[in-house]
């Protein structure tokens, strides 16, 4: 039995797949609320790096404002996303769109935590800040597109 079959046949996997379809719907609601919280944090910081949005506040202030939304959003999306995955692991594991989504997500999160934190601590040139913001927005757009494509591939 493959790893994904084991996962799908686990107690948690069975619990989810055999529950009412509204339980799955509730996970989807948690997932989208998490997405909005997560992207709120991303947008606040990216706009500020571009000199837009809350430009009268410092980058430090905006990053501090965004942080709880980023953590809460990541926790909600990753937990609800993992629960969908466990219940249907065998099918999901073959979906290329999901694999692309995970890769882009990891890159986007690394950029968010690594580069943005560094820019807050050591202000860089405008060009670097803009580059970081555009890279971040592009990666998150990719995560969104790949995520929506999962059901269509």
Partner 1 sequence: MSSIIEIAQAIQDSSIGVAIAESTVVFPVIETVHLLGLALSVGLLLIVDLRLLGLVLPKVPVATVHHQLRRWIFTGFTFTFVSGALLFWAEAGQVIVNYAFIAHGIFILLGIANAAFFEIRLVPGAADWKESLPGAARFAGAASLSAWFLVLVSGRLIPYLA
User: Which residue, 36 or 134, is less far from partner 1 as judged by CB?
Assistant: 36
Q: Which of 1, 121, 125, 152 binds partner 1 (CB under 8 A)?
A: 152
| Residue 1 touching partner 1 (CB under 8 A) | no
Q: State the Cα–Cα distance between residues 47 and 53, nearest whole angstrom.
A: 5
* Exposure string for 24-56, b = 16+ CB within 10 A, e = fewer: eeebeebbeebbebbbbbbbbbbbbbbeeeeee
At closest approach, how far in Å is the CB of 65 from partner 1? 6
User: Which residue, 53 or 131, is less far from partner 1 as judged by CB?
Assistant: 53
| Residue 138 touching partner 1 (CB under 8 A) | no
Using CB under 8 A as the binding rule, the residues of this chain from 19 to 58 that contact partner 1 are 21-22, 24-25, 28-29, 32-33, 35-37, 39-40, 42-44, 47, 52-57
At closest approach, how far in Å is the CB of 6 from partner 1? 28
**Closest listed residue to residue 8, CA positions, set 92, 78, 94, 88:** 88
| Residue 79 touching partner 1 (CB under 8 A) | no
At closest approach, how far in Å is the CB of 91 from partner 1? 17
Classify the C-alpha dihedral 4-9-15-18 as positive or negative: positive
At closest approach, how far in Å is the CB of 34 from partner 1? 11
Tokens describing residue 80: 């609800």
**Closest listed residue to residue 70, CA positions, set 104, 29, 100, 111:** 111
Q: Are 13 and 93 in contact (CB under 8 A)?
A: no
**Closest listed residue to residue 16, CA positions, set 77, 7, 29, 98:** 7
Residues interacting with partner 1, by CB under 8 A?
21-22, 24-25, 28-29, 32-33, 35-37, 39-40, 42-44, 47, 52-57, 61, 65, 141, 144-145, 147-149, 151-153
């Amino acid at each position: 039995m493959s790893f994904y079959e084991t996962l799908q046949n686990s107690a948690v996997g069975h619990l989810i797949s055999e529950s009412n379809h509204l339980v799955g719907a509730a996970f989807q609601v948690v997932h989208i609320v998490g997405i909005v919280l997560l992207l709120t944090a991303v947008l606040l910081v990216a706009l500020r790096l571009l000199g837009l949005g809350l430009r009268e506040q410092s980058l430090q202030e905006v990053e501090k404002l965004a942080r709880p939304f980023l953590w809460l959003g990541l926790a909600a999306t990753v937990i609800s996303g993992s629960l969908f995955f466990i219940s249907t692991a065998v099918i999901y594991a073959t979906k290329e769109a999901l694999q692309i989504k995970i890769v882009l997500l990891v890159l986007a999160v690394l950029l968010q935590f690594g580069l943005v934190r560094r820019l807050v601590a050591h202000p860089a040139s405008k060009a670097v800040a803009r580059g970081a913001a555009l890279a971040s927005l592009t990666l998150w757009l990719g995560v969104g597109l790949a995520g929506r494509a999962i059901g269509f591939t």
